[in-house]
Amino acid sequence: MIAREQRRPDVVRRRRNFVIARRFVEPDRLVFLDESGAKTNMTRRYGRAPVGERCNFYTVHGHWKTTTMVSAIRRTGVIAPATLLLDGPMNAATFLGYVERCLSPALRPGEIVVMDNLGSHKAAGVEKSIERAGAS
């Protein structure tokens, strides 16, 4: 299934421009940022058991814990100072703090930070903090 928005003329034009522009970007300038989360209530819904036996397992019920990990990587590997393990979910204020204290100091002038369009990534101050480090 493909999102219908991908066929809009403005999206098609932006994608075409991106494909053209990326030909001129040196791979060593790229820094990719992503986050991932896990909850203690993430359990399997299906399992296996011997024929004729029921598959039983126990899981957390009620209160659960969320853990978030955010990190940045360049062609040469993970940017160690730019990795954060957070006890809880990521929000705009936390992400801005991560960018200011962890990511920006590890960036080199001229690097290009690539991230998805998660709402917290669009927080006020994120782009400026990256630009102050000489990156974009």
State both tokens at 99: 């960018």
For 80-96, the pLDDT digits (tens) are 788 899 999 899 999 99
- Residues with Cβ within 8 Å of residue 47, at least 6 apart in sequence: 55, 57
How remote is the C-alpha of 124 from its chain's centroid?
Answer: 17
**Can you name the residues that pair with 34 across neighbouring β-strands?**
71
Whether the model pTM is above 0.75 = yes
For 12-30, the pLDDT digits (tens) are 999 999 899 989 999 999 9
Residue extents of the structural domains in the chain: 28-40+62-136
Pick the CATH number of 28-40+62-136 from 3.40.50.800, 2.40.50.140, 3.30.420.10, 1.10.1740.10: 3.30.420.10
